[in-house]
Amino acid sequence: MSETLIEVKGLKIHFFTDEGVVHAVDGMDLIVERGKTLSLVGESGCGKSVACRSLMQIVDSPGKIASGEILYHRSVGDGFDEIIDIAKLKPTGRQIRAIRGKEISMIFQEPMTSLSPMYTVGNQITEAIRLHTKVTKQEARQMAIDLLDKVDIPKPERLVEEYPFRLSGGMRQRAMIAIALSCNPTLLIADEPTTALDVTTQANILDLMLGLQKQYHMALLFITHDLGVVAEIADDVAVMYLGRIVERSDVDTVFNAPKHPYTQALLRSIPKVAMMREELDPIKGMVPSPYHRPGGCPFHPRCAKAFAACRTIAPSVTQLGENHTVRCLLYEDLAGNKVTEQSL
């Protein structure tokens, strides 16, 4: 059994709209490792949510996976893996439905809209359990109560009968987590799970997720735009800009020795608690319209270190360290030889 759980290669997701084709994800490469937390960071519109939805084949129309591979290393026991290309599966097919919600499950940002108002919390958890495992209604109900207990919900036997509108935001998110965990997933995708919550609730939910991750030994793919949250929970970080991963490394390197100008600029632009007050250093301009992507390196119009070549040459991936890749011409020898970090 290899350490790699999901390997995304050259993924492109296009949205075919009336105004033109939007390249939401444009050649993304990403590796998710077993049992680790990978944080996907980026501003709104950078394609992080769509990319993660594609791992479960739930990209909404008019979006389509145009090309690329999503290789899922499914463990079949005895240390052997079976490799499935999720990108090739039919979104409504039997195979993906066996994976979706069971082996790969997802938590969404808005806990009110992702739970159905028409069914009790218990109903919604048992639905997931009974879809994927052969258990009786009674057993499923007991499992649901155990799950709610695991996510620290007080009096779970009472809560299974409640409708979602009776719960607070934090409680709803806990119920969502219970549903996501109901079938022991190998990968949990969390799409901005704490953005809609207060900071004290957010802290509790983050602690809970980290505890459960250890307990279930699952991989966690955590999508967020909040760098503070990333610093708290991630093992590895991938920074995304306009549909591409621009930098990927372990969390310490990304925060303390970032290499890509976008990562550096992002870190400079956040106000820090308990630091002396100083003027913020924002990134100039804004994320360009998806219909008019800049040529060359898509970040060049906002980049402080851009030079002439950035306008025409799209940077490729440069390996800086064992676990550190960056997509920037600064680190690329244009003659074709890779520059070392020291020579910069």
Partner 1 sequence: MIDQVQALQNTTHPGAPPSVAAQSIATQMKDDSLLLEVNNLKMYFSITRGIFARVKGYTKAADDVSFFIRKGETLGLVGESGCGKTTIGRCIARAYAPTAGEILYRQADSSVVDLAKLEGEEVRPYRKDIRMIFQDPYSSLNPRMTVFELISEVLKVNKLVKPAQMKEHVEYLLERVGLRLEYMQRYPHAFSGGERQRIGIARALITNPRLVICDEAVSALDVSIRAQILNLLEELQADFDLTYLFISHDLSVIRHICDRIVVMYVGKVVEVADGIELFLNPRHPYTEALMSAVPVTNPRARKAGARIRLHGEVADPSNPPSGCYFHPRCRYAQTVCAQDEPTLRRLDGGRYVACHFAEELGLRGATMEQ
Which of 280, 293, 307, 333 is in the footprint of partner 1 by CB under 8 A?
280
Using the rule CB under 8 A, is 301 a contact of partner 1? Answer: no
Rg, the chain, Cα only: 21
Give the shortest CB-300-to-partner 1 separation in angstroms.
15
Phi/psi at 286 (5° precision) = -140, 175
Least distance to partner 1 from the beta carbon of 114, Å? 19
Which of 21, 66, 267, 317 touches partner 1 by CB under 8 A? 267
Distance CA 82, CA 45 (A): 34
Q: How far apart are CA 261 and CA 232, in angstroms?
A: 22
Task: Check if the beta carbon of residue 152 is closer than 8 Å to that of residue 208.
Answer: yes
Could you say whether residue 234 binds partner 1 (CB under 8 A)?
A: yes
Contact 339, 319 (CB under 8 A): no
Could you give the CA distance from residue 315 to residue 325 in angstroms, rounded to a whole number? 12
Residue among 231, 257, 313, 314 that touches partner 1 (CB under 8 A):
231
Distance CA 166, CA 225 (A): 29
The pattern of x and - marking residues 61 through 100 that bind partner 1 according to CB under 8 A reads: ----------------------------------------
Looking at the Cβ atoms of 116 and 269, the one nearer to partner 1 is 269
Backbone angles phi, psi at 30, to 5 degrees: -155, 140
Q: How far apart are the first and last CA of the chain?
A: 39
* Residue 281 within binding range of partner 1, rule CB under 8 A: yes
Nearer to partner 1, 202 or 318 (CB): 202
CB of 159 vs partner 1, minimal distance in Å: 13
- What the block records as the tokens of 273 is 């608690």
**Rounded (5°) CA angle 32-33-39:** 50
Q: Which residues contact 71 (CB under 8 A, 6 or more apart)?
A: 6, 7, 8, 9, 83, 84, 85, 86
The piece of 52-60, 115-123, 138-146, 193-201 that touches partner 1 (CB under 8 A) is 193-201
Binding of partner 1 by 286 (CB under 8 A): yes
Name which of residues 93 to 132 contact partner 1 (CB under 8 A).
Answer: none
Instruction: Report residue 329 CA to chain centroid gap.
Output: 26
Assess 304 for contact with partner 1 (CB under 8 A): no
Nearer to partner 1 by C-beta: 15 or 299?
Answer: 299
- In angstroms, what is the minimal distance from the CB of 198 to partner 1? 4
Tell the smallest beta-carbon distance from residue 267 to partner 1 (Å): 7
Provide long-range contacts, Cβ within 8 A and 24+ apart, for 139-143. 143/182
Least CB distance from residue 73 to partner 1, whole Å? 27
Using the rule CB under 8 A, is 38 a contact of partner 1? no
Is the CB of 8 or the CB of 251 nearer to partner 1?
251
Whether residue 187 contacts residue 218, with contact meaning beta carbons closer than 8 Å, is answered with yes
Q: Which two tokens stand for residue 103?
A: 């082996």
Stretch that binds partner 1, among 3-11, 63-71, 79-87, 268-276 (CB under 8 A): 268-276
Q: Which stretch binds partner 1 (CB under 8 A): 66-74, 130-138, 157-165, 259-267?
A: 259-267
Residue 335: left if φ>0, alpha if ψ -120 to 50, beta else—which one? alpha
Would you count residue 251 as binding partner 1 (CB under 8 A)? yes
**Geometric angle at alpha carbon 275, from 272 and 278, rounded to 5°:** 85
Give the Cα separation of 176 and 170 in Å (integer).
10
Of 35 and 169, the one with the shorter C-beta distance to partner 1 is 169
Please identify, using beta-carbon distances, which residue of 269 and 340 lies nearer to partner 1. Answer: 269
Residues that bind partner 1 (CB under 8 A): 43-44, 168-171, 198-204, 206-207, 210, 225-229, 231-232, 234, 251-252, 255-256, 265-267, 269-275, 277, 279-283, 286-287
